[in-house]
Structure 1
Amino acid sequence: MRNNILAIVAVAAAANVPILAHAQTVGVAPGTSVIVEDAPRIAAESYPAFREYVIGERIPNHTIPGTIAVGTVLPDDGVTFYDVPPSFVATPYRYTVVNGETVLVEPRTRRIVQVIE
């Protein structure tokens, strides 16, 4: 009898492990992404200096169809991202030049988070 109770408890516990693990998981629906809104970005007063830096680095201009705006997802192939120098801001984002616009990009999702005007 005692062995039967232990077996039932073990099976019940094993059956609930995936449910408990799922309950602890915070996720995002497939095909969507999360942009950390409070991650540091380049301050507006630093735009001119940052643009000069990018020109000095001779970053190639990538051409893609469509408009460039915050939220645009860049293609998987053909666009290279570069580290933002810490002298401008310590940020998890990278930068590139697309359609003549310097942009900050979240590298995992390839989503534009800031257009440097």
Structure 2
Amino acid sequence: MKQLMISAVSALMLTAGAIAASAQTVVIAPEQETVIKEYVTKHKVESVDVPDLTVSVGATLPETVELHTVDVPDVKYRYAVVSGKTVLVEPDTRKVVHVIN
């Protein structure tokens, strides 16, 4: 019984750790956000509307939304303008990691 309880607690802790890791938000340093904003302002792209999508961190952009490269050192994310909001996107998962204000 004790071994079963230890196993159950261990499994719960591993699951909680995995959920916490996937829920982490990306923190963009203010100076890096300024550089990204300047880049995005100079390299304007047209805003696209995606019906039934709430533009927020964690949202997944469909394949129909073109992702653009941010040609700034140390930025691995892509950007898009969706419903008038500029977002940084993880290119592999297409998840929004940051909304630029």
Query: Which TM-score applies when normalising by structure 1?
Result: 0.55
For the aligned residue pairs, the C-alpha RMSD in angstroms reads: 2.7
Give the direction of change, closer, same or farther, for the CA distance of 1:38–1:58 in structure 2 (3 Å limit): closer
Distance 1:93 1:46 in 2: 12
Distance 1:85 1:62, change over 3 A: same
The amino acid that maps onto 2:70 is V
Distance 1:114 1:61 in 2: 16
What amino acid does structure 1 have at the position aligned with 2:60? V
Provide the secondary structure at the position in 2 that maps to 1:61. coil
Measured in 2, the distance between the counterparts of 1:51 and 1:86 equals: 11
Distance 2:61 2:33 in 1: 22
| 1:73 correspondence with 2:60 | yes
Unaligned runs of 5+ in 1: 1-33
Q: How many residues align?
A: 80
Q: Which of 51, 56, 59 does residue 42 from structure 2 map onto?
A: 56
Which structure 2 residue ranges, 5 or more long, are not aligned? 1-20
Deviation at 1:67, TM superposition (A): 1.6
Q: Which residue is equivalent to 2:14?
A: none
